[in-house]
């Protein structure tokens, strides 16, 4: 993905379908979308993220922890 495509896909104002091979940055894009929503004032309990693997969910949580205080992170629960 180009940087422009990554920027567009991480914009939460628009729906995006991201299909790419492993290691292409899909989880990073989803993490960026969550961060942008949180910075825009969306309550964490209004954000739902789905991943196919526990590893991707852990990667997302770690990415959020790097930039957000613990008290502002959404809860993560398996469905």
Residues 41-56 pLDDT 10s: 888 888 888 888 888 8
Say if residues 60 and 34 touch (Cβ distance below 8 Å). yes
**Which strand (E) or helix (H) includes residue 43?**
none
Q: Is residue 78 predicted with pLDDT exceeding 60?
A: no
Please report, rounded to a whole number, the percentage of residues in the chain having pLDDT higher than 70: 86
* Nearest-angstrom CA–CA distance, 7 and 11: 7
Q: What is the model's pTM?
A: 0.69
Average pLDDT over residues 30-48: 85
Query: What ranges do the domains of the chain cover?
Result: 3-72
């Amino acid at each position: 993905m180009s940087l422009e495509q990554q920027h567009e896909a991480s914009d939460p104002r628009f729906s995006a379908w991201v299909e790419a091979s492993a290691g292409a940055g899909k989880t990073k894009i989803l993490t960026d979308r969550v961060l942008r929503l949180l910075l825009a004032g969306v309550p964490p309990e209004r954000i739902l993220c789905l991943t196919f693997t526990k590893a991707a969910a852990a990667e997302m949580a770690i990415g959020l922890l790097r930039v957000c205080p613990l008290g502002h992170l959404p809860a993560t629960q398996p469905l």
